[in-house]
């Protein structure tokens, strides 16, 4: 519970000094709104630089709230959004910065309208990450995995089987072989293929 109800019926944000004294670097907030996020930032002394990981679940955060949160909380490098259906991909992409090293978005219904995803030189993305992409973003028409050196032929097979609307694909990856390219023959919508 983020608020304490005072005798007069007004709500007061809880005291987070105990958390600050212990130096908590990660938080999971459930069922919060944009206003709650702002209150958290204002009331947790370490929020601006000291919080490294932020997880929001079943929350009503909007594009504006997401942008404010990531702009204010400069220390966040790991972000998880689960069951948050009020932000769109426009808000997510406009607010993300290069400092984010881990991003997890799941069960957020507005992601299904995303059409373009470019993962450039993301060296730690594996075929497991490709599984998440193809199941979370089924309407992709453009995908770049350029420089994703851990993606293999199995990842290409996942793309070919699941992203039937894909028109542009960049597979400039070192572990793709003839076998991986053969999977692309079933992709009737594909118009542009980039290899290097």
pLDDT of amino acid 113? 65
pTM of the predicted protein model: 0.65
Alpha carbons 55 and 63: distance in angstroms, whole number: 16
DSSP string, 8-45: TS-EEEPP-HHHHHHT--EEEEES--HHHHHHHHHH-T
- Tens-place pLDDT, residues 1-49: 899 999 988 999 999 999 999 999 999 999 999 999 999 999 998 999 9
User: For residues 149 and 116, which has the higher predicted lDDT (pLDDT)?
Assistant: 149
Alpha carbons 146 and 169: distance in angstroms, whole number: 9
Q: Which CATH number fits domain 113-195: 3.80.10.10, 3.20.10.10, 1.10.3300.10, 3.30.230.10?
A: 3.80.10.10
- Tens-place pLDDT, residues 58-106: 999 999 999 999 999 999 998 988 889 898 877 877 677 778 877 777 7
């Amino acid at each position: 519970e983020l608020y304490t109800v005072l005798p007069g019926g007004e709500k007061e944000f809880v005291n987070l000094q105990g958390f600050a004294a212990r130096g908590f670097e990660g938080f999971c907030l459930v069922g919060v709104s944009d206003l709650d996020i702002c209150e958290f930032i204002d009331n947790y002394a370490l929020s601006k630089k000291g919080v490294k990981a932020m997880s929001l679940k079943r929350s009503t955060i909007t594009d504006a709230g997401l942008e404010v949160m990531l702009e204010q909380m400069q220390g966040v490098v790991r972000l998880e959004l689960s069951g948050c259906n009020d932000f769109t991909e426009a808000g997510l992409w406009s607010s993300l910065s290069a400092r984010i090293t881990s991003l997890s978005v799941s069960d957020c219904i507005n992601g299904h309208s995303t059409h373009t995803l470019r993962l450039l030189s993301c060296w730690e993305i594996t075929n497991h990450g490709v599984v998440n992409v193809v199941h979370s973003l089924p309407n992709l028409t453009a995908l770049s995995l350029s420089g994703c050196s851990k993606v293999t032929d199995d990842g290409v097979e996942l793309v070919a089987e699941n992203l039937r609307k894909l028109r542009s694909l960049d597979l400039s990856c070192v572990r793709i072989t003839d076998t991986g390219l053969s999977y692309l023959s079933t992709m009737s919508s594909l118009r542009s293929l980039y290899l290097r």
